[in-house]
Amino acid sequence: MYPWRFDFCVTPRSKKEIAEYLRMASVSYCIKRYVDPLVDDGILALAEPKSKRSHTQKYFTVK
């Protein structure tokens, strides 16, 4: 279902860190394909909820 263990994001991680962890060359594809659905499902949360596409955005596990 998802290609990584959720404990990776117990510490807030940047888009680039997540893409590198998943060994994906395209950060934008990684975010659209994997991270955004996890945010929508409430599994990951945004460190900066008011600015979803911020270049400094980080994601962390809530469940």
Interacting residues of 45 by C-beta distance below 8 A, sequence separation 6+: 39, 59, 60, 61, 62
- Go through the domains of the chain in sequence order and give each one's CATH number: 6-61 (1.10.10)
Whether the per-residue pLDDT at 63 is higher than 70: the answer is no
The pLDDT value recorded for residue 53 is: 86
* pLDDT tens string 16-44: 999 999 999 999 999 999 999 999 999 99
CB atoms within 10 A of CB 31: 21
The pLDDT value recorded for residue 11 is: 93
Whether the per-residue pLDDT at 1 is higher than 60: the answer is no
Interacting residues of 7 by C-beta distance below 8 A, sequence separation 6+: 61
